[in-house]
Every structure is written in structure tokens, then in C-alpha cells.
Amino acid sequence: MEISSESGVPQEFSSTVRGEMRGSTLVVTIDNPPVNATGADVRAGLMTALDRAKADDVAAIVLTGTGKTFIGGADIKEFGKPPVLPTLPDVIEAIESSPKRIVAAVNGAALGGGLEVALACHARILSPAASLGLPEVTLGLVPGAGGTQRLPRLVGAIGALDMIAGGKPIAAGKAVEIGLAERLAGGDLVAEAACYADELANAPIRRTGTLPVSAFAPSEFEDLAARYVKRARGQTAPQEAIRLVALASKVDLQAGLAEERTTFLRLRDGTQSKALRHIFFAERAAGKPADISSFEPRSLAVVGVAGTGLMGCGIAVATLAAGYSVIALDQSPEAAAKGRERISELIGAAVKSGRLSSEAADEQLGRLVVSAEPNDMKAADLVIEAVFDELDVKIDLFRKLDGIVRSDTVLATNTSYLDPDVIAAATAHPERVIGLHFFSPAHIMRLVEVVRCQQTDPAVLATALAFARKLRKVPVVAGVCEGFIGNRIFSAYRTEAERLIEEGALPQDIDLAMEDYGFAMGLFAVYDMAGLEIAWARRKRQAASRDPNAPYFEIPDRLCQAGRFGRRAGKGWYLYQNGERTVDPEIDRMIADYRIEKGFVARAIGKDEIMSRLLQAMAREGQALIDEGIAGTADDIDVVLVLGYGFPAHQGGPMFAAAHGSDR
Ligand code: COA
């Protein structure tokens, strides 16, 4: 290749890596949208750049990226395909051993393989917008190109453990503070990086791999490791990460790198990582139905939220955080004032936990208006209803709003169980009605089911999807049916759990099987946490219309009749003492009596059978939803269950699990 040494003339090292001489510094830029992943072409380009830098006219190299990422990581789409040389570890080895000093000018996110590249560089200067992390555990992996061995050499074993086993990126300022980077840039990052290289010209090159891991207190390391093991709930990657970070201070670099690579390859080919990668891509593919791709979302500035209960306030908080103005409506000035208080409290909690600055909180609250006057909704571009889940109440509200808002204002209902087509039909413009089913607490949970009603205008659907994304939520499109995607599947596996109880399992057996599988909490513990009274009230309302010949599981009603409303009442499916849940023999007796009364003969049911029956019930219902056209794809179903119902991400969701099984 012909190489220009003329200053300012760009040269292509590959189609995604280019270089340019600035004085005697070779500035190498990675330009591989969307996230500058280190795919084969980037790796080849970097090798060519290093070759070029061997020439005498190059004194130092500055390595940077375009856009808002430095390097977003290895190209996950290459996993599972035949390897293409050079590998990332080859490139990283060449970077670290380069005879010319390499300064990483980290312009944005340096994640996974991206941070590993930066670690192998000889110095690091960060844009204030940079974030640095080794998030591999969130994909069921460990870093595979030196992260577990080099990071402890820069920041110590404890800091490295926190970043690698936790998987959370850190901000630029923190990275400098802990020694992960040397400088924060004040202005032109690349120019400052080049100056930095000049300043260092006479100093020996500092190669991360040659540094020792500084001494640390083993007990502190073990305590932190124990916390991550507990959080892992059956995921293997965090435990492997802990082992590898510990190894960095025990063996030499080459031995550590070899063990890390072997572990990485084993995890990459295992089911847990495949499951987590599946969810990563499924989340990003969700909410993009092909038939609306040509429709532009409408622009929204003012969002109305009708109802300031827990759900309405959560929605208002998420909407304010996304930069919209919010009008929160309730029935009386007192109720509206309470709503403002609740919204302020939720925003205040974010300030307290350090997730939000108090200036940002004030700015957000400055965009909130609360009102008891429906006519104030006139200004809204979108109104989300989150009032009591009762058809008459919702129809009444929608009719009222219909007469107040502009004809192109989108009207969304947050109903979980009612038929949004019936609500839409009660309005003069059913084409602007849609379902936006948030999950509680709405300012935290990332899932939103976007329910496409029979007459919803495609532009309204496009608008609702864009809105949900702006809220940093994951929207999944669902058709109309009772319970949409999530609650339909929930209902199917709840029924299966009830059958298991009739056949001989106890609630604690079912919960243990689920928790062992990776759910944070089993079904019955979740009921207790949520409280049993709301569902009981609904069952009582529906009692008259229930088919008397259909099977009906009576135990929950009996629990409520006995005042066992769940955790807050101190007893439900379990007993609660000082927040500890314990099995109550009274429940076992109640179930035994019930079985005798109904003629069920109990048998022993093991946890494998329990879990496989629950999974089959979910997957069967999921397939039915696809066949009925309610859900678009099996991937959408997995996203709903993982983000909305606590299905363990490392098991990939019920449809993935049905197709691929489990590692454990
Ligand atoms: N390899 C391949 N594709 C990737 C990727 C990777 N490492 N990271 C992101 N992408 C793709 C996404 O699938 C998405 O594709 P799509 O537009 O076709 O759906 C696109 O890049 C944008 O990603 P998105 O996450 O929507 O953008 P963002 O700006 O919100 O976030 C990142 C950017 C880099 C922070 C985020 O994508 C991320 O966390 N990536 C994974 C990082 C990681 O775990 N690296 C270690 C890999 S071992």
C-alpha cells in the first residue's frame, strides 16, 4: 500500500480504519458505525496502521473513534461464525508491544473489547463524555482479550473486580480518579492526545501488561466477590470473572491471558451467553414492525397523564426524564396536589441515590403541571390514561378527552386487562387510540407493551413506539386479546402452577424450582409481595360471569377470606417475620384438605418436572399468541417475559428455552 506522509492527507488502512499524519503523530481513527465494533475489517485495519507506524516519520500514534463511541466492543454478530485472523488478542498484543507510543483518545463509550484496546495502549486521555466498562458478564461472558489481566494492573484487583464482575461502565471522571486513565481532555481531544504523546516523548513507554498488580486485602476482595456471586443467581460468568481477576495477581501475564481466553471461548459457546446475546439483539429488534417503517412518528412536546396513582406518577416521572412537558390530571385539586407530591418524591429518590442531580430534578419538575381541570389537556399531543382499570371509568374519560384534545392528539390507555378496541370504539376518532401498557413501577421497568387496536392509524403506532423509545423503554407490539402478550403467558403458567399444587406440589416447591432456575422470586412469593386483595376484588367482580363448569382454583380466595393478604399483612402464601419469609404449615394443611375435598390424589413432584411444566405452559401459550397474530415473533415474547415478568435473562426467555434448553 502506498502510504502518504503528508500532514493532513487521510489514508485508508481498511474500509473502517483510516489514518492521518499530524506533524509526527499518526492519528488512527476507527469509523465502523453504528458502534465501532472491532469486526474483522477493523482488526485488519489496525494491524496495517501499526505496520505503517513502523516508518521513521511516525513518532507516536493517537487512536480514536468517530461518533459517540470509541469502540463498542467485539462484534457480537461474529460470534458463532468461523474465526477470521487477526483475532482481537493478536491486535491487542501488537498494540501493547508497539515500539511507537500509542495514546488512546477515548471519545465516547469504550466497552468490552474497546476498553481492552485502550488498556493495551500506553496512555489514555478521555473526553468528558467517555464511559468505560467491561460489560461482558451481562452477555454471559468474561473479557476475552486481556481485560481481566490488564485492568487489575492499572486500577488494582478490587477496582477491577467491581468493574468486571459488576459489568457496569464508569464515567470519565471516575476512570481518571481510579487510575484507569491518565487525563481528562478539556477541549480538542485528539489535539490534546497528540500533545500528551509529545510530552511523554522522552519517557519510557509504560506497557500495562508489565505492571505488577498492587497489593490488596484478600478479605476485601472476598467480601466483594461474595456479593457478586450472590447476585449472579446461577449465572456462571460472574464467578469466572472473579476467578480470573484473582489469577492476575498470582500468575504472569501470558499464563493469565491464556486462561482468560480459554474461559472466554468456553462461555461464548455455552447456552447462557447465547441466551443473553439473544435477548440483547431481541430487545433492539423489538417494536419495529415492517409495515409501519414508512410512517414518520408525530412530534410530541406535551404529554398528558390522566390519573396520578402509582402507575400514573411513574409514567409522569419517566416522561419528564425524557424531556417532555407533562400535564398530570386527577379528579380533584387535592388528588392532583397529592400527585405532584408523589412525583416529586419519586424524582427526589433519584436525587438521593445519586442518579440525578438536584438541578436536573428542579428542571424536570419545572416542566410538570398538575391539574383537576380536564380542559387543561387541550395542549397535549399525547394523553396516557392510567386511571382505575374499570371499563366504564375509562370509556367515560376517553369520551371526555375526545371532545377536548386536538383531533390528531394520540390517546393511549394503560389498561392491563380491558379491551382497548371497546374503549376506542366509544370515541369519535378510534384511529388515534392505542394501548401503552406500562409495568409497575413505570419509571423503572423497561418494558412497554404497545397495543395496536383494530383501527389504530400506523402513524399513531409509529408515534407511540418512538415515544416509548425516547423514554428509554423497550416497546413490544401486541395485538388485542385479554392480557396482551405478558399477562396471557403469565396466566397460562399460573394455571399450570395451580395444577401442580392440585397434583401434589406445594407453593414453596414451585418457588424454589423457579428461584433455582434464576427467577429472583417464585410465583407465590411475588403474589405475597404484590398483595392478594386486588386480584381477589377482580375475581369477585367477575364471579357472576364465570363459567360454573370451568375449573376454578379456590385456594387464593380462601387465603383472602382468612385475611392472608400477603407480605404487608404478615401472612399470605407464606408467613413473614421481620421481613423473612417462612413456610407456614397452615397453608400445607389448607392445600391437603382442598385436595381431599376435590378428589385430587397427591404425588411427589420434583423440581425438574415443576420447571419443565411451567416452561412448557409458557412456550405453548407463546406459540398460540404468534399463531393468533397477537405477538409478532418468538423473540418479542422472550423480551416481554424477561423485562416484564422476571424471567431470567440468562435462560433467554421461554421461547428460547424451549428451543435451546439450559446449561444448568
Ligand atoms: N456488536 C455488534 N453489534 C452491536 C454491538 C456489538 N458489540 N453493540 C451494539 N450493536 C448494534 C446493536 O445491535 C444495534 O443494531 P441495530 O441498530 O441494527 O438494532 C446498534 O449497534 C446500536 O446499538 P444500541 O445499543 O441500540 O445503541 P446505543 O447507542 O443505545 O448503545 C452501546 C451503544 C455500545 C452502549 C450498546 O450498544 C452496548 O452496550 N453494546 C454492547 C457492548 C458490549 O457488551 N460489548 C462487549 C461485547 S463482548
pLDDT at 10 over 90: no
- What pLDDT score does 4 carry? 59
Distance CA 102, CA 46 (A): 12
**Termini Cα distance of the chain:** 51
Give the tens place of pLDDT for each residue, 414-452. 988 889 999 999 999 999 999 999 999 999 999 999 999
- 80 flagged as catalytic: no
Does residue 76 line the site of ligand 1, with CB under 6 A?
Answer: yes
Q: What pLDDT shows up at residue 663?
A: 66
User: Are 11 and 45 a contacting pair, CB within 8 Å?
Assistant: no
- Tell me the pLDDT band of 397, cut-offs 50, 70 and 90: very high
- The Å distance, Cα 285 to ligand 1 centre, comes to 12
pLDDT higher at 388 or 132 = 132
Average pLDDT over residues 61-78: 96
- What is d(CA 69, CA 34) in angstroms, rounded to the nearest whole number? 9
The rounded distance, in Å, linking the Cα atoms of 66 and 127 is: 12
The answer to whether the pTM exceeds 0.85 is yes
Q: Within 10 A of 34 (CB to CB), how many other CB atoms are there?
A: 9
Closest CA to 116 of 143, 76, 139, 79: 143
Task: Average the pLDDT over 19-46 and give the result.
Answer: 97
Residue 447 and residue 436 in contact, taking contact as beta carbons nearer than 8 Å: no
Dist. CA 124–CA 194, nearest whole Å: 11
**5 has pLDDT over 80:** no
Backbone angles phi, psi at 36, to 5 degrees: 55, 40
Over residues 175-193, mean pLDDT? 97
Q: Which atom of ligand 1 is nearest to the CA of 143?
A: 48
Instruction: Sketch out the chain's domains with CATH numbers.
Output: 11-268 (3.90.226.10), 295-478 (3.40.50.720), 489-629+631-660 (1.10.1040.50)
Distance 35 CA to ligand 1 centre (A): 6
Cα-Cα-Cα-Cα dihedral sign, residues 462, 464, 467, 473: negative
Q: Is the pLDDT of residue 143 over 60?
A: yes
Q: What is the pLDDT of residues 118-140, one digit of tens each?
A: 999 999 999 999 999 999 999 99
* Active-site entry in 39, 113, 435, 572: 113
The answer for 579, left when phi > 0, alpha when psi is -120 to 50, beta otherwise, is left
Q: Among the options 20, 96, 116, 385, which is catalytic?
A: 116
Q: Nearest-5° angle of CA 119, CA 38, CA 642?
A: 95
Task: Tell me the pLDDT tens digit for each residue of 286-330.
Answer: 999 988 989 999 999 999 999 999 999 999 999 999 999 999 999
Q: What is the DSSP letter of 562?
A: T
* 116 is annotated as an active-site residue: yes
CA dist 547 → 390, 500, 541 (Å): 21, 22, 14
**Residue to probe by mutation, ligand 1, list 16, 32, 35, 168, most atoms within 8 Å of CB:** 35
Cα–ligand 1 centroid distance for 110 (angstroms): 12
Bond preceding residue 556 cis, omega within 30 of 0: no
pLDDT cut 90: percent of the chain above it: 91
**Structure-block grid coordinates of residue 535:** 386480584
- Say whether 113 is catalytic: yes
Q: What is the structure's pLDDT at 1?
A: 46
Distance CA 239, CA 225 (A): 8
Burial of 534 (0-12, 13-18, 19+ CB in 10 A): exposed
556-590 pLDDT per residue, tens: 999 999 999 999 999 999 999 988 999 999 999 99
Whether 3 has a pLDDT exceeding 60, the answer reads no
Instruction: Summarize the confidence of residues 271-292 as an average pLDDT.
Output: 95
C-alpha cell at 536: 381477589
pLDDT in the model for residue 233: 86
Residue 273 or residue 550, greater confidence: 273
Ligand 1, atom 34, lies closest to the CA of 72
Residue 290 has a pLDDT of 87
Q: What pLDDT score does 80 carry?
A: 81
Residue nearest to atom 25 of ligand 1 (CA): 284
Q: Which atom of ligand 1 is nearest to the CA of 135?
A: 44
Q: Determine if ligand 1 sits within 6 Å of the CB of residue 133.
A: no
Query: Is ligand 1 within 6 A of the CB of residue 475?
Result: no
109 lines ligand 1 (CB under 6 A): yes
C-beta of residue 556 within 8 angstroms of C-beta of residue 532: yes
Strands 69-71 and 109-111 come out as parallel
Residue with CA at minimum distance from ligand 1 atom 46: 112
- The overall average pLDDT reported for the chain is 95
Residue nearest ligand 1's atom 38 by CA:
72
With bands split at pLDDT 50, 70 and 90, how would you rate the model's confidence at 409? very high
* Cα 333 versus chain centre, distance: 37
Higher-pLDDT residue of 28 and 232 is 28
Contact criterion met (CB below 8 Å) for 189 and 125: yes
Give the pLDDT of residue 606.
96
CA–CA separation, 531 and 422 (whole Å): 29
Closest Cα to residue 397, out of 350, 329, 499, 479? 329
Q: Atom of ligand 1 at shortest distance to CA of 72?
A: 34
> Which of ligand 1's atoms lies nearest the C-alpha of 281?
13
Return the pLDDT at 58.
97
Among residues 60, 74, 185, 336, the one annotated as catalytic is 74
Tell which wins on pLDDT, 7 or 114. Answer: 114
Please report the pLDDT score of residue 2 as a whole number.
46
What is the structure's pLDDT at 416? 86
pLDDT at 186: 95
Average pLDDT value for residue range 474-503: 96
